[in-house]
Structure 1
Amino acid sequence: MDELTPGRYYASEQYLLPADEAETARLGLQHRVFSKSFENRISLAPLNLQSGGRVLESAAGTGIWALEFFKESSKNGIVLDMECIDISDKQFPQKFPPNVHFSVRSVIDLPAEWNSNFSYVHQRLLVLALDDSLWRKVISEFFRVLLPGGWLELVEIDTSCYRDYVGPCTNSLQSLALSMFAEKGIIVDMANYFPPLLEETGFVDVRCEVRRVRIGQSGENGYRSDEIGNFFRGLKRDVVNGGGYGIVRTEEDYEELLKGCELEWNIHSDEAYVYHYAFLARKP
């Protein structure tokens, strides 16, 4: 295939999506859709936080979730102490309250002094960064840093764009994505993967909340087609490096495939959708 189009910044080889201005804008739109899909709630855990309580957000990215959660808690008279970590600071906000702390850290190796420190741990959208062995390390780390009685919330989007046949372009894109994810060990069947892993680690009260989210032209009840298209554009580096996985040959082929998918999603919005998952678990 052709050389990768310049201009996108990737924080690591492991994480498949970029960490640049275009991705920051996309994540802002995605945050809106996630919140709306869960009835305008940004947290589903049954929390009983008090002022001074410590909250950890992993894979903080732009900080949009953390800052909104902090603001919402403050309105209820609860001033939290929040740690927000990511492997890159490229998307960190420029301004934030003094009780919210951003730092560059890896979730697979949290500080030893964080043992039993947090009442709530939240992580969103890291499925494209971790294989089974890394997920096991991450869940173990979360268990370690949570206080007894503390809650973990993992929020993810599934890695497919349909459950029924939508069209030939969507079918080809799905084949490409599944081949790439299989090669990299990305977890696809999250609903059957996470609950047993959480219980095996020692968590209790494990449950999963699922929402089906439409893809269509207006994005009124979900994602606009171009928003999902831009998600897949962010995967171009690894599509290119993988030689197109037998589906596309050039970057131009890949772009044409995505445009074809967007057209199919606009036409068949009743069949095009993704799932949002929220996995909840408590440390006994």
Structure 2
Amino acid sequence: MESTQENTEEVYLFNRNDFEKQRLNKQHELLVSLCDGNLLHPSIPKDAIGKLAEVGTGSGIWLDDIATVLGSDIESFSMKREYAGFDISAVHFPANLRPDTQYIVHDILEPFPSEFHNLYDVVHIRLMVLALKKDDIQTAAANVAALLKPGGFFQWEEIETRDLSFSPPSEITSKVKGIMRDLSMASGLTNTPSIEIERAFKELGLVDVIVEDYNSNRRPDLTSGVAEWTKAGAKAALFYAILRGQTVRNEEEARSESAELWEAYAAEIDGGVVPSLPLKMILGKKAS
């Protein structure tokens, strides 16, 4: 099932290759740990989940994990569950599919086919902040909300990029943060996604909307994991950020400058600068 990719691809800063797939999978483990091991918000009743979908599923690692968790729930062994993963690209879809899971190529900015409407008890989105323009968040939320059954839950997690910090700050970390921030703003992205998402949820009529705040600054056990996460993210994104920032003449210059900057950045992190990982989980429920 194909759909246009122009809208989200033009602002996305990461490549779609094996390195990126590995980075996303490691990032998944870190984010789950940050959320106290919860793939789903504790208020979502697991025994009521029959069909669950994820939009922007990537490699499907979150979907596979939640299927495993729900499948191990003794109280719901008799329930037959179905899972669906949607993404703008099939590049990272798993080669070996679970029999209860399907993967579909679809752009979040396009309405989903009617056969998927009012179908799911839970729909999950995570980390679309670098792929969605600020003005497109409402459209994306509306398209995804259409997938929910009445009474279904919409869970969306995003890194609150405005709150990214380094302790102590340094010239190099400030430069990297500034490059990413300036390009994001020039591309029409937002550095306060939770505010935009919460507003979209309420305007769509979702009820019981809450915003949970998770931050690695309160989790010293995650310091080393966050350090590796920020180095991997910078390594993946800096080349494209510098190239699109139009401060270099060609790809060769962008590659050289980004490699030099990343080496200095990684040295700062390895030398003891502690980065933060601020995550917001926004949850809403479709009215019954």
Q: TM-score, normalised by structure 2?
A: 0.85
Is 1:25 equivalent to 2:22 in the alignment?
yes
Residue of structure 2 aligned with 1:261, choices 255, 261, 265: 265
Structure 1 residues 266 and 79, CA, compared in 2 at 3 Å: closer, same or farther?
Answer: farther
- Matched residues in 2 for 1:255 and 1:86: separation? 30
Q: How much has 1:12 moved relative to structure 2?
A: 3.0
For structure 2, list consecutive stretches of 5 or more residues without a partner in the other structure: 1-7
**What's the counterpart of residue 101 of structure 2?**
100
**What's the counterpart of residue 142 of structure 1?**
144
Contact 1:166 / 1:268 at 8 angstroms: preserved in 2? Answer: no
Is 1:89 equivalent to 2:90 in the alignment?
yes
- Matched residues in 1 for 2:223 and 2:271: separation? 15
Q: How much has 1:50 moved relative to structure 2?
A: 4.7
Q: How much has 1:53 moved relative to structure 2?
A: 1.5
Is 1:60 equivalent to 2:61 in the alignment?
no
The farther-off stretch of 76-85 and 261-270 is: 261-270
For structure 1, list consecutive stretches of 5 or more residues without a partner in the other structure: 1-10
Residue of structure 2 aligned with 1:203, choices 200, 203, 206: 206
- Matched residues in 1 for 2:15 and 2:257: separation? 20
The farther-off stretch of 234-243 and 64-73 is: 234-243
Residue by residue over 1:24-51, the C-alpha shift from the partner in whole angstroms, topping out at 9 and shown as x without a partner, is 1111110110011111111115223458
Residue of structure 2 aligned with 1:13, choices 10, 13, 24: 10
- Matched residues in 1 for 2:229 and 2:31: separation? 13
Q: How much has 1:136 moved relative to structure 2?
A: 1.1
- Matched residues in 1 for 2:286 and 2:87: separation? 23
- Matched residues in 2 for 1:52 and 1:143: separation? 16
One-letter identity of the residue aligned with 2:202: E
One-letter identity of the residue aligned with 2:13: L
Residue of structure 2 aligned with 1:176, choices 168, 176, 179: 179
- Matched residues in 1 for 2:214 and 2:247: separation? 31
Structure 1 residues 130 and 96, CA, compared in 2 at 3 Å: closer, same or farther?
Answer: same
Residue by residue over 1:211-243, the C-alpha shift from the partner in whole angstroms, topping out at 9 and shown as x without a partner, is 1125xxx98445353431221222222421222
Contact 2:48 / 2:121 at 8 angstroms: preserved in 1? Answer: no
Q: How much has 1:84 moved relative to structure 2?
A: 0.5
DSSP 3-state at the match of 2:9: coil
Residue by residue over 1:126-182, the C-alpha shift from the partner in whole angstroms, topping out at 9 and shown as x without a partner, is 110111232111111122221111100111123364166510001111111111001
The farther-off stretch of 114-123 and 159-168 is: 159-168
- Matched residues in 2 for 1:141 and 1:14: separation? 19
- Matched residues in 1 for 2:267 and 2:166: separation? 17
Residue by residue over 1:70-93, the C-alpha shift from the partner in whole angstroms, topping out at 9 and shown as x without a partner, is 111111124321110111111111
One-letter identity of the residue aligned with 1:144: A
What aligned pairs does 1:1-284 form with structure 2 within 5 A after superposition? 12-44=9-41, 46-50=43-47, 53-76=50-73, 77=77, 78-109=79-110, 110-159=112-161, 161-162=164-165, 165-213=168-216, 220-221=222-223, 223-235=225-237, 236-244=239-247, 250-270=254-274, 272-284=275-287
DSSP 3-state at the match of 2:216: strand
Paired residue total:
269
Structure 1 residues 136 and 220, CA, compared in 2 at 3 Å: closer, same or farther?
Answer: closer
Q: How much has 1:52 moved relative to structure 2?
A: 7.4
Structure 1 residues 155 and 222, CA, compared in 2 at 3 Å: closer, same or farther?
Answer: farther
One-letter identity of the residue aligned with 2:118: S
DSSP 3-state at the match of 1:65: helix
- Matched residues in 2 for 1:163 and 1:221: separation? 12
Q: TM-score, normalised by structure 1?
A: 0.86
